[in-house]
Amino acid sequence: MNKTMEILESALTDANFRKLLAIPNRRVHKFVADAIQLCMPMKVFVCNDSKMDREYIRRTAIARGEETPLANPYHTVHFDGFHDQARDKETTLYLTPEGDNLGEQLTQMDRDKGLEIVQKRLSGSMDNKKMVVRFFCLGPLDSLFSVPVVQITDSFYVAHSEDLLYRRGYDYFRRLPEDKEIFWMLHSSGKIMHSISIDWKKRGVMIDYKDNTVYSMNTQYAGNTIGLKKLALRLAIRKADREAWLAEHMFLMAVHGPSNRKTYFTGAFPSGCGKTSTSMVRGNTIVGDDLTYLRILNGKIRGVNVERGIFGIIRSVTQKDDPVIWDVLRSKRPAIFSNVLITEDEGVRWLDDGSEPPEIGNNYSGEWFAGKVDRHGEEIPYANKNARYTIGLEGLANLDRALDDSRGVEVGGIIYGGRDRDTWVPVQQSLDWNHGVITMGASLESETTAAIIGPSGVRKFQPFSNLDFISIPLGKYIQNHIDFVEGLEQVPPIFGVNYFLKDENDNYLNDKLDKMVWLKWMELRVHEGVGAIETPTGYIPLYEDLKELFQSHLDKDYSKMEYDIQFTTRVPELLEKIDRITNIYMETVDDTPQVLFDLLEEQRARLVDAQGEHGDCIMASTFV
């Protein structure tokens, strides 16, 4: 008997050993055996995706205090540690082999040194704890898009969350070819006190892309621990680079147009910038809210939702603005809330939920009361700004029937958006594919939010809404987007949106629901159903078209004054943006494609010419 089998037989009960060996892939056996030898768990549980096994995971998460049951028997709450409330960008490192360099934008560490740290921090990390082994598939099962993933964790909350978020893959693994590429995830919460990771100062995520393996240590926050989410995206981007497709931080939805027409859009927005709410806009259908794989099939761009659930920011979710999500969060569909407030009647509250603020409850700081402060004297809100909900998509009334289509859906348009107070107009269409890739995707900026550790409200370079997850040199990533449509007869248009434009008094110029109109206008543009005004930065809507769309879809009067203010070309701000973006690429990004500099300079020239003729602030009607 080889060493792998000896380790497995000694560590697993007969039932769990049989479940693991029902998967014939020897690399799976070795990965589990190596994890056991390193982390030294007290017991090992192999989940075969049966209802009994899945329910055991949920019950154990509650029994161990990782989740707290609520009055609704289908709902639980998870609390992360006080210092473990968001993705930790600074301690998420790529392990680069000698001779590799991913560029200055990515945090890297020598691979050998990083693996030494992994060994040190994970050694014995599951002592007196149970290891959970789970199998999933990214993308639809048995599809060209499918990517199998093994997740090992000592957190039953992580294992339970993934059960809601991803396609179960145990049976898929049983028929998996021996040489199929697999992503490997190993997570340990480390030392636990009151079900909270206490060694958060040694928190870290190590991405060993050479072996398609992600290690996550001393953390419980889902963005750092659920390996199939943004951690697997980093591996998928490298796989896509090798195989000439795209792995993107994008929603996937169908905008419903005239005569029962459906047009599928992808959209890339940084966290907290309206990605989920856009994919959930009333009157349309959702395929996915976060991650999309894109491939060329039969001369068309087709996309799939990598996931089958939502790990969404719950702040500002209200019955009025988010009725579909609201209904699910009040239903008997399974849901996990994280870092919200538990009320006295075992309900939950979150910031800006449409009700009066509570006075007491329990949250991530323990017993909470209005006015409670932390050790620095700063007031603790009753729920974290980055509080979340985890649900499966199957509970949504607006779920698109194409969710599990193995061929994906044909993509009709691509959207880029960020949190921008003073530069971009609410919606515009690029002049062509390359112009959109460069001036909207590669030039995307956004103000930071509570989804990432650090100060909020700071303007950051965020190309393609994917900078934190890009695992190849950025210049190559841009070139891949340029090359992606080569040879296609019909290329989808690219759009830019901005929901966060403000006036001089810091008031938003648009209502939250206005995004419905921008979506409907983009859908019409895909099918050449409306005209547009050409400006130096792209095509913008005609007032008459928007007025009609606001009236028909929102029953709202849209004034010419609103239009003139919102769709003013702000030349100084746009020129400053070009300067910022150009300098970033010149100073920090190696091998930037020359087309980026060329297209930015062409846009600069158009803006300067318009400024010379019309001034700094140019109303849309000027370009007619």
The total number of residues written for the chain in this structure: 624
Which of the pair, 395 or 353, is modelled with greater confidence?
Answer: 353
Asked whether 165 and 198 are in contact (CB, 8 A), the reply is no
pLDDT tens, position by position, 359-373: 999 999 999 999 999
Which of the pair, 320 or 476, is modelled with greater confidence?
Answer: 476
Tell me which of 68-72, 291-295, 309-313, 454-458 is least confident: 454-458
The CA distance from 390 to 6, in Å, is 38
The CA distance from 275 to 522, in Å, is 16
The CA distance from 543 to 529, in Å, is 15
pLDDT recorded at residue 337 = 97
Answer CATH for 3-244 from 3.40.449.10, 3.40.50.720, 3.20.20.70, 3.60.20.10? 3.40.449.10
DSSP 215: E
Please determine, for residue 340, whether its predicted confidence score (pLDDT) is greater than 70.
Answer: yes
Is the alpha carbon torsion for 155, 183, 452, 273 positive or negative? negative
Residue recorded with tokens 């709450």: 77
pLDDT exceeding 70 applies to what percent of the chain?
98
Domain residue ranges of the chain, discontinuous segments joined by +? 3-244, 247-310+401-623, 311-395
Nearest to 183 by CA among 225, 145, 213, 146: 213
CA dihedral 449, 450, 454, 458 (to 10 degrees): 20
Nearest to 444 by CA among 565, 572, 296, 596: 596
Q: State in Å, rounded, how far the first CA of the chain is from the last one.
A: 79
pLDDT recorded at residue 105 = 75
CA dihedral 213, 218, 222, 228 (to 10 degrees): 10
247-310+401-623 matches 3-244 in CATH topology: no
Please count the other Cβ atoms lying within 10 Å of the Cβ belonging to residue 57: 20
Buried-exposed string 596-613: b where 16+ CB fall within 10 A, e elsewhere = beebbeebbebbeebbee
The CA distance from 70 to 169, in Å, is 29
Question: Tokens in use for 578?
Answer: 């070009």
Query: 3-state class of 330 per DSSP?
Result: coil
Please count the other Cβ atoms lying within 10 Å of the Cβ belonging to residue 13: 12
Please count the other Cβ atoms lying within 10 Å of the Cβ belonging to residue 564: 14
Please count the other Cβ atoms lying within 10 Å of the Cβ belonging to residue 134: 28
pLDDT recorded at residue 82 = 84
Question: Tokens in use for 103?
Answer: 């560029």
**CA Rg, the chain, in Å?**
24
Asked whether 337 and 78 are in contact (CB, 8 A), the reply is yes
Question: Tokens in use for 491?
Answer: 């290329």
pLDDT recorded at residue 270 = 87
Give all strands (DSSP E) within 291-392, no chain letters: 292-297, 300-305, 309-313, 335-338, 341-342, 348-349, 360-363, 366-369, 388-392
pLDDT tens, position by position, 514-524: 999 999 999 99
Read off the pLDDT band of 193 (50, 70, 90).
Answer: confident
Give the HSE-up count for residue 57: Cα atoms under 13 Å, Cβ half-sphere: 26
Do strands 445-447 and 617-618 pair parallel, antiparallel, or not at all (unpaired)?
Answer: unpaired
Please determine, for residue 448, whether its predicted confidence score (pLDDT) is greater than 80.
Answer: no
Q: Measured between alpha carbons, how far is residue 499 from residues 431, 546, 574 in Å?
A: 21, 15, 17
Mean pLDDT of 212-223: 93
Query: Which range has highest mean pLDDT (102-106, 188-192, 232-236)?
Result: 232-236
Asked whether 44 and 126 are in contact (CB, 8 A), the reply is no
The CA distance from 361 to 45, in Å, is 35
The CA distance from 37 to 186, in Å, is 13
Mean pLDDT of 148-158: 98
The CA distance from 566 to 561, in Å, is 9
Amino acid, res. 48: N
Tell me which of 111-125, 137-151, 191-205 is least confident: 191-205
Read off the pLDDT band of 453 (50, 70, 90).
Answer: low
Q: Angle at CA 11, nearest 5°, toward 10 and 15?
A: 95
Please determine, for residue 456, whether its predicted confidence score (pLDDT) is greater than 80.
Answer: no
DSSP 450: T
Active site residue 47: no
Do strands 167-168 and 130-138 pair parallel, antiparallel, or not at all (unpaired)?
Answer: antiparallel
The CA distance from 311 to 165, in Å, is 7
Question: Tokens in use for 359?
Answer: 């006075």
pLDDT tens, position by position, 384-399: 999 999 999 998 999 9
The CA distance from 608 to 316, in Å, is 40
pLDDT recorded at residue 624 = 84
SS3 content of the chain, % helix, strand, coil (to 5): 35, 25, 40
Mean pLDDT score of the chain: 94
DSSP secondary structure string, 454-514? Answer: S-SS-EEE-GGG-TTT--S-HHHHHHHHHHHTTT-SS---EEEE-S--B-TTS-BSS-GGG
Please determine, for residue 452, whether its predicted confidence score (pLDDT) is greater than 80.
Answer: no
pLDDT recorded at residue 307 = 97
Sequence-distant (≥ 6) Cβ neighbours of residue 320 within 8 angstroms? 354
For residue 373, list its beta bridge partners. Answer: 379
Please determine, for residue 172, whether its predicted confidence score (pLDDT) is greater than 80.
Answer: yes
CATH code of the region 247-310+401-623: 3.90.228.20
Mean pLDDT of 309-323: 92
Which of the pair, 456 or 440, is modelled with greater confidence?
Answer: 440
Q: 247's torsion region: left (phi>0), alpha (psi -120 to 50) or beta?
A: beta
Q: Which of 39, 47, 137, 273 is catalytic?
A: 273
pLDDT exceeding 90 applies to what percent of the chain?
87
Residue recorded with tokens 């690029």: 430
pLDDT recorded at residue 465 = 93
Mean pLDDT of 229-234: 94
Mean pLDDT of 587-594: 93
- Burial class, 76, CB count within 10 angstroms (exposed 0-12 / middle 13-18 / buried 19+): buried
The CA distance from 40 to 124, in Å, is 5
Please determine, for residue 450, whether its predicted confidence score (pLDDT) is greater than 70.
Answer: no
Superfamily of domain 311-395: Phosphoenolpyruvate Carboxykinase, domain 2 (2.170.8.10)
Let me know how many helices (H) and strands (E) the chain has, helices first. 18, 35
Asked whether 350 and 387 are in contact (CB, 8 A), the reply is yes
Asked whether 66 and 195 are in contact (CB, 8 A), the reply is yes
